[in-house]
Amino acid sequence: MEPDRWLGLDLRHLIALKAIADEGSFGRAAGRLGYTQSAISQQIATLERVVGLRLIDRPGGPRPISLTEAGRILLRHVEAIEARLFAAKADMEALEAGDAGRLRVGTFQSVGARVLPTLLRRFGQEHPRVEVVLQEHAEEDELLELVERGALDLTFMTLPVERRPLEELELLRDPYVLVVPAGSPLAALKRPPTMKEIALQPLVGFNKCRAMDGVETQLASSGRAPNVVFRSDNNGTVQGLVGAGVGVSVAPLLTVDEDDESTVVIDLAGRVPARVIGLVWHRDRHRSPATEAFIATATTVCRELASTRVAA
């Protein structure tokens, strides 16, 4: 019932353990935390006294230290506790800043162009008092980082995401299509082109799109290494290059402007597994009514969008 002297221990002791594990030395850990080496040494000493087990192997001399079995196990708990503490801090700061106020949402290009306009308009009508602050970032990992740190309340993301303290919800599946210049022989085919036929073409690709990598490896594994002649991160640029006859492009449908006269969009008929777009948020953070509402609206908007696309 009473956790003995465990409650007497200080969070700093646990953080010290983590710092040591990260830095690999008492001294460097002390530097990072703004303490003296002596202080760290004593903190670990008391921590080990409380726990009753040796947590760190000190071989002595200038040899590097290492965590014991117990230390490694405890470290995982410490990391979880620290993460939860960050989440708490983020919640408190959000509560302090805007009461029912701001909702900070991360996005990336292809979502921004298609889904967001309708979603934001709808959400603005339904919840006029909530101010949505968007943050676009090319690196999806950066967005996850921000969510973990509590700098974002939600983010759009390509699923699945395997990071631990996150929860995800699938919104829609965005199939990959082949974009070719108007008049390309591939456009004249009655059937969807094979992977090998695509790999024979000069390709225009994206720089750093997580899902793109998967497509390229699949192309590569289909025999011949794909010949990527140009890369860009801008959807319009890629499509423009395709239209100019530089090459063809395998791209998520949402990133393609289907009204562009200079290009033709060819369905890949599921040859490439569709990109799954969803929302991701911090599992441990408080979900405000505004957050829940945003998730709900996003769900319905995307369901509508998916059904109209099927109809069209």
Q: Binding residues for DNA, per CB under 7 A?
A: 10, 12, 25-27, 30, 34-39, 41-46, 58-63, 65
How many CB atoms lie under 10 A from the CB of residue 251? 27
**Could you say which of DNA, a second copy, none residue 229 binds, taking C-beta under 5 to 8 angstroms by partner kind?**
none
Give the shortest CB-86-to-DNA separation in angstroms. Answer: 20
How many CB atoms lie under 10 A from the CB of residue 69? 11
Comparing CB distances to a second copy, the nearer of 73 and 189 is: 73
Comparing CB distances to a second copy, the nearer of 70 and 293 is: 70
Comparing CB distances to DNA, the nearer of 46 and 135 is: 46
Give the shortest CB-114-to-a second copy separation in angstroms. Answer: 34
CA dist 261 and 259 (Å) reads: 6
CA dist 198 and 195 (Å) reads: 5
Closest C-alpha among 208, 180, 158 to residue 267: 180
Give the shortest CB-26-to-DNA separation in angstroms. Answer: 3
Comparing CB distances to a second copy, the nearer of 85 and 186 is: 85
Provide the binding-site residues for a second copy, judged by CB under 8 A.
3, 6-12, 15, 51-53, 69-70, 73-74, 76-78, 80-81, 84-89, 91-92, 95-96, 284, 286
CA angle 100-104-105, nearest 5°?
Answer: 130
Give the shortest CB-268-to-a second copy separation in angstroms. Answer: 39
Contact 139, 227 (CB under 8 A): no
Comparing CB distances to DNA, the nearer of 65 and 293 is: 65
**Could you say which of DNA, a second copy, none residue 51 binds, taking C-beta under 5 to 8 angstroms by partner kind?**
a second copy
**Could you say which of a second copy, DNA, none residue 143 binds, taking C-beta under 5 to 8 angstroms by partner kind?**
none
Q: Tell me, rounded to whole angstroms, the distance of Cα 235 from its chain centroid.
A: 20
For residue 271, what are the CA distances in angstroms to 27, 73, 92, 194? 55, 44, 47, 8
Q: Residue 311 contacts by C-beta under 8 Å, 6 or more apart in sequence? A: none
CA dist 178 and 120 (Å) reads: 29
Give the shortest CB-224-to-DNA separation in angstroms. Answer: 49
Give the shortest CB-28-to-DNA separation in angstroms. Answer: 7
